[in-house]
Amino acid sequence: MAPEGSVHLAEALGDEIRPRSEFRISGKSRLGPKPLRGGRRYDQATVDRPSGVIAGSPTVSRCTLSIMRKRPMIISIEDEIDGEDARITVILDWADQPWHGQAIGSTSAQPRLAGEAALDAIRLLTGGRVEIELLAVATSDFGAARVALAQVRFGDDDVLVGSALQAEADGRLAAVRAVMDAINRRIELIL
């Protein structure tokens, strides 16, 4: 469902940008995520022409409005190893602020700890408004590629699954990417 609110459509004339119309977006708008440069994504809402616009006039009969959304971005994954114990810290960026999540456990479980640390950072940046739990994370060969898969409980009932190619990345980064892939669309609605 689309977020509700007003969106202003502007037209550019040379260096000047002037307001053109205001639309109200309701939960009935059709949305589809579209990629944007720099790793950010936006949702595209298709809205019927405003009232008073004559069909066939130079004004388009349908307008496409873009609503910018920013998902948390992975900044770094840091570790502190002490024998068999590991502390993994994942730093996410959201709203131009770093959010640090941590998990402590065995060095043999570093991909899982990285996934847990990512969820810890998400809990902090959402102010605890969402219940999330990492149910499983694993890397596996899938044909010619190595992938990470994550299963996350979101709220009371939803179980979400995400995946990421491991490629040249280590297992920790692939696990964090898979966790973020599982929850990004839901987190975006809360932020």
* Per-residue pLDDT tens digits for 156-169: 889 999 999 988 87
* In a shared domain, residues 87 and 137: yes
What number of H helices and E strands is found in the chain?
A: 2, 11
Q: Is the same domain home to 91 and 20?
A: no
Element (H, E) at 122: helix 110-125
Query: Are residues 84 and 166 located together in one domain of the fold?
Result: yes
| Residues 30/45, Cβ–Cβ less than 8 Å | yes
The whole-number pLDDT of residue 110 equals 94
Mark whether 100 and 26 lie in a shared domain.
no
Query: What pLDDT, on a 0 to 100 scale, did the predictor assign at position 190?
Result: 83
What does the pLDDT read at residue 191?
Answer: 79
Based on the domain organization, do 120 and 179 belong to the same domain? yes
Per DSSP, the three-state class of 37 is: helix
Same domain, 48 and 128: no
Task: Specify whether 39 is located in the same domain as 52.
Answer: yes
**Continuous segment of H or E residues that includes residue 124:** helix 110-125
The pLDDT assigned to 59 comes to: 39
Closest CA to 164 of 173, 177, 180, 152: 177
Residue keyed to tokens 């066939």: 56
Say which CATH number the domain at 78 has: 3.30.160.270
CA distance 18 to 62: 19
Q: In this structure, are 140 and 53 located in the same domain?
A: no
97 and 29 in one domain? no
- Domain extent, residue 124, equals 73-190
Terminal alpha carbon distance of the chain: 15
**For position 20, what pLDDT does the model report?**
46
pTM, to two decimals: 0.64
Q: Where a domain ends, among 33, 54, 69?
A: 69
- Within the chain, which residues score under 50 in pLDDT? 1-68
The residues near 39 (Cβ < 8 Å, ≥ 6 apart) are 73
Per-residue model confidence (pLDDT) at position 156: 87
State whether 140 and 106 are in the same domain: yes
**Domain's final residue, options 28, 51, 69:** 69
The number of domains in the chain is 2
Q: Choose the final residue of a domain: 69, 87, 112.
A: 69
